[in-house]
Amino acid sequence: MLALRYHRVDVFTDRAFGGNPLAVFPVATALDSRQMQAIAREMNLSETVFVLPPSKQGTAARLRIFTVDRELPLAGHPVVGAAFVLAETGALETHPGRNQIVLELGAGPLPVEIDIKDSKVHSVFMTQKPPKFGAELRDAEALAAALYIPPQSIDLDLMAPRVIDTGIPWFCVPVKDMRALAAVRADRARCDEIARRVGTDLWHAFTLDTGDPDCAVRTRHVWWGRVTPGEDPVTGSAIGCIASYLVGEGVLLAAPEAVVQVEQGHEVGRPGEVTARIAASNGTVQRVQVGGSAVHVGNGELWIQDS
């Protein structure tokens, strides 16, 4: 029997039982892909991350990230949470102040910044890829039917619903206000149909109407296929896309960097906050960083029976 230790952390929050929960398996060399997928289903979280030795020179570790039904090339809270765990447990050598490392992901090498204060991990920031802009969909009637909200709640005056990719493609839908955001529900059949039209089943909605005056944007996970259960509380990869879109369209100004506080998770009782740092030049986004804090809430052991 193989005994595997794991850590439970809440990411994008400074208090336990907020933000986005994550399981981190810091030593996963004995596992194959099938076992990782089975473990992710067992953990039943938005994502579970497995840490492996790096295969590329100049990287500190290799991360494999699984939802309950698929492996992802990149995701925000698994990267932030895994880097937090590795630094907190001494698996990564760090020093006071800002530490720059590179982690290896399916999407490629990913720069990560770990800020150490008073011998503790204060924050972790990941650098996503500059945004690629994909399909637009201005069909408010179809979107409203897919999300169970009135057509006038889709905020086409702000910007077009669009696919943005900073490492993983999210279909980002602007809505008028927090009330509309809270009302969003996904109609499976209609979301599937639109997903085929825009080329991704990863959906996020957002509004500039926020509950915290220090936050510029409020977001909500909408849809990620037919198998993965539940609503992702706080979604770093999607927030990088949305912040890039807002800066790229001139809704939020970067001079030369915009620091955007984003709130998410309130509708599912797990409020969290993400900081997005977006650098732009001549209206073009050049650098995307998202990050925040995390809280270590426990450890455990999972047993794998010999086959």
Question: 215: domain CATH number?
Answer: 3.10.310.10
Q: Are residues 156 and 214 in the same domain?
A: yes
Q: Which range marks the domain in which residue 278 is found? A: 132-291
Quickly state the pLDDT bin for 1 (edges 50, 70, 90): confident
Domain total in the chain: 2
Cα-Cα-Cα-Cα dihedral sign, residues 85, 91, 92, 97: positive
Same domain for 148 and 72: no
Q: What is the pLDDT of residue 266?
A: 96
Q: Each residue of 153-209: pLDDT tens digit?
A: 999 999 999 999 999 999 999 999 999 999 999 999 999 999 999 999 999 999 999
Q: What is the pLDDT of residues 237-259, one digit of tens each?
A: 999 999 999 999 999 998 899 99
The whole-angstrom separation of Cα 65 and Cα 71 is 6
| pLDDT tens per residue across span 276-302 | 999 999 889 999 999 999 999 999 999
111 strand-pairing partners:
102
147 and 270: one domain? yes
- Report the pLDDT value the prediction gives residue 288, as an integer from 0 to 100: 97
Q: Enter the tokens of residue 43.
A: 């953990």
Same domain, 87 and 21: yes
pLDDT at 99: 98
Q: 64 and 187 in one domain?
A: no
Maximal C-alpha separation, the chain: 58
Query: Residue 206 to residues 27, 33, 181, 248: CA-CA distances in angstroms?
Result: 36, 34, 7, 16
Is there a single domain that holds both residue 161 and residue 245?
A: yes
CA distance 209 to 203: 19
Whether the CA torsion 8, 214, 127, 71 is positive or negative: it is positive
Three-class secondary structure of residue 132 per DSSP:
strand
User: Do 118 and 22 fall into the same domain?
Assistant: yes
Q: Please state, in angstroms and as integers, the Cα–Cα distance from residue 15 to each residue in 11, 21, 81, 275, 299, following that order.
A: 9, 12, 14, 16, 17
Residues 104 and 158 in one domain: no
Region 77-86 average pLDDT = 98
Residues 147 and 124 in one domain: no
pLDDT at 224: 86
**Average pLDDT rounded to a whole number, residues 144-151:** 98
275, 300: one domain: no
* One domain, residues 62 and 190: no
Task: Provide the token pair at 228.
Answer: 């993965």
Which residues fall within 8 angstroms of residue 227, CB to CB, at 6 or more apart? 68, 69, 70
Strands 48-52 and 162-165 turn out to be: unpaired
Whether the per-residue pLDDT at 83 is higher than 70: the answer is yes
Across residues 142-154, what is the average pLDDT? 98
Render pLDDT for 116-128 as a digit per residue (tens, 0 to 9): 999 999 999 999 9
Euclidean distance between CA atoms 130 and 209, whole angstroms:
26
29-76 pLDDT per residue, tens: 999 999 999 999 999 999 999 999 999 999 999 999 999 999 999 999
List active site positions. Answer: 47
Residue 216 and residue 126: Cα distance in Å, rounded?
Answer: 20
Its pTM stands at 0.94
Please answer whether residues 86 and 51 qualify as being in contact, where contact means their C-beta atoms are separated by less than 8 angstroms.
yes
184 with 299, same domain: the answer is: no
Quick one: what percent of the chain has pLDDT higher than 70?
98
- Is residue 307 pLDDT above 70, yes or no? no
**Rounded distance, CA 29 to CA 35, Å?**
11
